[in-house]
Amino acid sequence: MINQSRFGAWTWVCVAIMLQLVCQTVDARHSAAPRSHPVDVRSNSVLVMDEKTSHVLYAKQSDVAAPVASITKLMTALVVLDAKQSLDEKITITEEDTDLAKPSASRLVVGSRFTRDDLLHVALMSSENRAANALARHYPGGLSACVAAMNAKARALLMTDTHFVDPTGLASDNVASPHDLAKLVIAASHVPAIREYSTDESHELLVNSRVLEFHNTDGLVKNPAWHIVVQKTGYISEAGRCLVLKAIMHGRSVVIVLLDSFGKFTRVADAERIRKWLDRQMGESGAWRVS
């Protein structure tokens, strides 16, 4: 005859063991699940970094090379300025500057002449593709030499996931990872002309006896909540909407890289979300509370 009380005790022991095993399984699955991101950033590839410490505050696909569109122009400007050619030299826009990797609207008409300085200005501020191409054509040795110098500069900056094939960024074969682009942004921020031109709100050029006003492609430069040191936007269909910048936040230099944003406003909204998140993460000691 079975002892009822003894049977009941063993039943509860078995139940307890089974519950413990279930809890352990759930805990294991929970610990293996990916952690949620600390801020809702919609861009597909992201890097946020404290420049001084190189501490990565936020990253998403930050080591994956992807098309960078007109972010390319930061590198074009770097090598053009490295060549130390006269910024006052006049350069003529030709048909070669219209024969680009993709059709591109421009108000720089064929036959118009501008100083190298003006072309740098609108290439960085307004992302003028004809300006960037004309600068590369007049680089010592021509356009191919300029592109070779861009790739050499990338290697010198230890941008190991980067490759350029044209000076405008219209070619989808211009690729880099967010980590590499952070290095490019920092290098560009050390050049006064790039800092000034990339963050200028507008610039006037005389085109065929008409004064035309060009505007910055990045509306954040007009936002008083931001102290932007250098920036560049970019867009082609393969790259999506892109934005890189270096800004001063709480007295610290922060680099933000946003690649492959969808829609017209996502990259700016992502930048704003990151800025507000970092506002909340700055501790009283002046250090980020981000692990």
pLDDT in tens, 256-284: 999 999 888 999 999 999 999 999 988 76
Catalytic annotation present for 73: yes
CA 168 – CA 100 distance, rounded (Å): 8
Higher-scoring residue by pLDDT: 38, 282? 282
Q: Does residue 47 lie within any of the structural domains?
A: yes
Catalytic annotation present for 127: yes
Q: What are the tens digits of pLDDT across the range 128-175?
A: 999 999 999 999 999 999 999 999 999 999 999 999 999 999 999 999
Q: Does residue 210 lie within any of the structural domains?
A: yes
Q: Does residue 30 lie within any of the structural domains?
A: no
Q: What are the tens digits of pLDDT across the range 194-223?
A: 999 999 999 999 998 899 999 999 999 999
Residue count of the chain, please give it. Answer: 291
Identify the CATH number of the domain in which residue 261 sits: 3.40.710.10
Among candidate residues 43, 45, 126, 127, the one labeled active-site is 127
Higher-scoring residue by pLDDT: 215, 30? 215
Q: Quick one: three-class SS letters along 222-240?
A: HCCCCCEEEEEEEEECCCE
pLDDT the model gives residue 96:
97
Q: Does residue 18 lie within any of the structural domains?
A: no
DSSP result, 228-288: EEEEEEEEETTTEEEEEEEEEETTEEEEEEEEEE-TTTHHHHHHHHHHHHHHHHB-TTSSB
Expressed as residue numbers, the domain containing 163 is: 36-281
Q: Does residue 261 lie within any of the structural domains?
A: yes
Which letter does DSSP use for residue 56 in this model? Answer: E
Catalytic annotation present for 232: no
Q: Does residue 9 lie within any of the structural domains?
A: no
Number of structural domains in the chain: 1
Among candidate residues 62, 73, 198, 261, the one labeled active-site is 73
Q: Does residue 183 lie within any of the structural domains?
A: yes
| Secondary-structure percent of the chain, ordered helix, strand, coil, rounded to 5 | 40, 25, 35
Among candidate residues 45, 70, 189, 261, the one labeled active-site is 70
Q: Does residue 21 lie within any of the structural domains?
A: no
pTM attached to this predicted model: 0.86
